[in-house]
Amino acid sequence: MAEPFTAPIDNFFNPRGVAVVGASATPGSPNNQIVQFAKQMSLNGKVFPVNPRSDEIVGLKCYPDLMSIPEPVDLVVIAVGAQHSLGVARQIARRRGEKGDAGAVAVVTAGFKEMATAEGEQLQSELIATIKASGARIIGPNCQGVADTYNGVNTTFSVPPNTPKGGVSVISQSAAFATSFLRWARDQKLVGVNKFVSLGNMADLDFRDLLAYMSDDEKTKVIAMYMEGIVDARGLIDISAKVTKRKPIVVIKGGKTSLGTNVAQSHTASIAGNNDIYDGAFRQAGVIRAQSVAEFYHTARVFDKMPLPKGNRIAILTVVGGPSTICVDELVSTGEVSLAHFSDELKKEAAKYLVASANIGSPDGYIDMTASVNPKMHTDVLRLLMNDDGIDGIIFMTTPPGFIKDDELAAAIAEGYNSVPDEKKKPLLSVMLAGNAVARCRTLLEEQGLPTFEFPDDAARVMVNMVRYSAYRRRNACQ
């Protein structure tokens, strides 16, 4: 027999048709939700529920088995119980043999290796071997599969179909972690998503494969990964180092246990936990590792919305003193970022726009406009900072005063930011220290692509990450 043709990963994200095996007619169940979401997102309507006991599910014709679907099916979702999954795998193999499609399989079903039982492990290896022998590729088992906002694909029951489109692609070992990111971001339009992958047990495809795929995917501007661990960490780092020369990877990694089993004869081996090696290896490969969930969320989305800083000289523009101190502390703490130097002309010019009590340049790189502000001052000073080539990025902090309307403030900030042509743009991070009281102002800015923050230290950490990645890109551009 000839070697089976190994299907491209693109089948997951660009399928001609999607079959959901184990689709349920019962509203309110996960397997019904999967079909609903798949139908709602689909651009061509080619969603085929499979269940021998139903004729129709969420208004779609239901098929008794995979073979009876007359149209091309590139993506198969296995959502039947674990004990029935092997039967579906055999049908996939048959379909590939006869029709040549069914190249991508998302095994949503749980009850395999993650159970840590001999049966679970055995079942998983049989399932994977059967599907792989046909040349099809597998995501999972024990996952939620994939979503693609541009191509209209969704095999999950928790990625909302109305998730805004954008340049962030998410690869996650935990579906819950990744979907909570999307839900957190949705109301204020903080993040736009391109692709979403929940990897589950990684019995076939893992981070390495998806990273390589997303590296070539034009619509992916940033890759955000939640990971716990991977056996071939060296392989992951090697691929990451290639990807980061083209686009940023932001990672948050759980599981901080050390080697444990290593019987060390040297200081080095006794001190070296995998977590510490990950730290160094990620830096070496230009991967940004976030230390907190907030840092992870914001860094990923800001990389998508803002251009990279060209250097490490950051200006602080504020109307609030205390939070700015926190921000500056965090900003300069790693030594990789410094405050910008203001020229005399810049200071003189800024003074024209602001009240006499404003603090311009103490410390250097810092402007406190005081609370006596109006929208125009924001525009004028931001224009000044945007036009100054000695400044690589700006953090703006405010508790928006009640006497300025949300839309006026948002418009003033946007006008200042957009006063320079695209090639002169630099990152502007706006901290709005008033929580939901300024939700509307934040949303207005986010809609125009200007990222906002609730807390000053989060903004500082994101700026450090951008500076760090930008330095990595510069030193790798000239090699």
Q: Which residues bind other proteins (CB under 8 A)?
A: 230-234, 237, 259, 264-272, 274, 276-277, 279-281, 283-284, 475
Shortest Å distance, C-beta 310 to other proteins: 20
For CA atoms 170, 171, 175, 181, give the dihedral sign: negative
Structure-token match 């700006």, residue found? 394
User: Where is 33: in which H helix or E strand?
Assistant: helix 30-41
Structure-token match 């109006």, residue found? 374
CA 407 – CA 405 distance, rounded (Å): 6
72 C-beta neighbours (distance < 10 Å), count:
13
Q: Which is nearer to other proteins, 277 or 404 (CB)?
A: 277
Could you tell me which residues come within 8 angstroms of residue 105 by beta carbon, excluding any fewer than 6 positions away?
Answer: 75, 76, 77, 78, 89, 92, 131, 136, 137, 138, 139
- Give Cα 261 to chain centroid, integer Å: 34
CA 105 – CA 88 distance, rounded (Å): 10
Shortest Å distance, C-beta 475 to other proteins: 7
Closest C-alpha to 287, from 300, 297, 298: 300
CA 284 – CA 309 distance, rounded (Å): 20
Shortest Å distance, C-beta 120 to other proteins: 23
DSSP string, 383-407: HHHHH-TT--EEEEEE---TTS-HH
Amino acid 248 reads P
Shortest Å distance, C-beta 139 to other proteins: 22
CA 128 – CA 131 distance, rounded (Å): 5
Shortest Å distance, C-beta 477 to other proteins: 14
Shortest Å distance, C-beta 101 to other proteins: 36
Q: Which is nearer to other proteins, 26 or 476 (CB)?
A: 476
Q: Which is nearer to other proteins, 43 or 478 (CB)?
A: 478
CA 428 – CA 11 distance, rounded (Å): 38
CA 352 – CA 63 distance, rounded (Å): 73
- Give Cα 360 to chain centroid, integer Å: 37
Q: Which is nearer to other proteins, 230 or 319 (CB)?
A: 230
E strands, 247-386, are: 249-253, 288-289, 313-318, 338-339, 359-360, 366-368
Shortest Å distance, C-beta 276 to other proteins: 6
CA 235 – CA 241 distance, rounded (Å): 10
Shortest Å distance, C-beta 271 to other proteins: 6
Shortest Å distance, C-beta 262 to other proteins: 8
- Give Cα 114 to chain centroid, integer Å: 25
Query: How many alpha carbons lie under 13 Å from residue 233 in its C-beta half-sphere?
Result: 13
Shortest Å distance, C-beta 161 to other proteins: 38
E strands, 257-373, are: 288-289, 313-318, 338-339, 359-360, 366-368
